[in-house]
Amino acid sequence: DGGITQSPKYLFRKEGQNVTLSCEQNLNHDAMYWYRQDPGQGLRLIYYSQIVNDFQKGDIAEGYSVSREKKESFPLTVTSAQKNPTAFYLCASMGAPENNNEQFFGPGTRLTVL
Amino acid sequence: AQSVTQLDSHVSVSEGTPVLLRCNYSSSYSPSLFWYVQHPNKGLQLLLKYTSAATLVKGINGFEAEFKKSETSFHLTKPSAHMSDAAEYFCVVIRSYNTDKLIFGTGTRLQVFP
């Protein structure tokens, strides 16, 4: 089955610790995205990557870092500099532009910082 | 700048009655618009998309939406609600021309009562 996987589903960390969220896709998509979702708000873009070895900051990149060493993988690190990291994190990918910018989403990781 | 406004944060209907979820958009050009659905603690799934073809767009699970330029609206409807429709729904617009980045509305939570 083609799709996007995120792990773990739930993650607990102590304040001040860095944590890395995994995102893997086997859809052969070039573009990948990380979003943060908070209650009562829409999704906000953290980082995105349109090609391997390249990525760009989104709207709320402070306190986060990413890498894109492989096409299939786009891990997100939540650093201790992120002031309010508790949230639901969603990864997405997108294929060819002729698909009219449809993004495919993973199941999400709920991060709770204690 | 492009934006979307979801007019209701919560909508409650009885099973078997019609569903109407309202979305207004703001765009300086002919926009691409989407509706996504999110079930609790899950990723987002595309319901339907408008890309300047037919103004009435049919999606999955019996949902449809009509693009009305004169009203700058893209409301989501379904003739008869099912219990499984209970979820959060997001209206989404492409951020700007020739880009792959999305702007999400704040979401509408649909409750379906038996």
Across residues B46-61, what is the average pLDDT? 90
Contact B104 A101 (CB under 8 A): no
Which of B49, B101, B106 comes nearest A102 by C-beta? B49
pLDDT one digit per residue (tens) for chain A, 114 residues: 569 999 999 999 998 899 999 999 999 999 999 999 998 788 999 999 999 999 999 999 999 999 999 999 999 999 988 889 999 999 999 987 666 678 899 999 999 998
Judged against a pLDDT cut of 70, whether residue B108 lies above it is answered with yes
Across residues B48-62, what is the average pLDDT? 90
**Substitution target from A21, A43, A46, A59 for chain B, most B beta carbons within 10 A:** A43
**Two tokens at A31?**
């573009």
To which H or E segment does residue B57 belong?
Answer: strand B56-58
Q: What is residue A23's predicted lDDT score, i.e. its pLDDT?
A: 97
Judged against a pLDDT cut of 90, whether residue B54 lies above it is answered with no
Which of A41, A58, A100 comes nearest B32 by C-beta? A100
Judged against a pLDDT cut of 80, whether residue B49 lies above it is answered with yes
- Measured CA to CA, the distance from residue A66 to residue A95 in angstroms comes to 20
Residue A110 near residue A9, CB atoms below 8 Å = yes
Predicted confidence band of residue B17 (pLDDT cuts 50, 70, 90): very high
**Two tokens at A10?**
């739930």
Per-residue pLDDT reduced to its tens digit, B83-94: 999 999 999 998
- Measured CA to CA, the distance from residue A43 to residue A36 in angstroms comes to 6
- Measured CA to CA, the distance from residue A44 to residue A36 in angstroms comes to 5
- Measured CA to CA, the distance from residue A31 to residue A93 in angstroms comes to 5
Across residues B2-28, what is the average pLDDT? 94
Q: What is residue A100's predicted lDDT score, i.e. its pLDDT?
A: 64
Across residues B13-42, what is the average pLDDT? 91
- Chain B neighbors of A101, CB-CB under 8 A: 32, 94, 100, 102
Judged against a pLDDT cut of 80, whether residue B38 lies above it is answered with yes
Q: What is residue B27's predicted lDDT score, i.e. its pLDDT?
A: 82
Q: Where are the alpha helices (DSSP H) in A48-92?
A: none
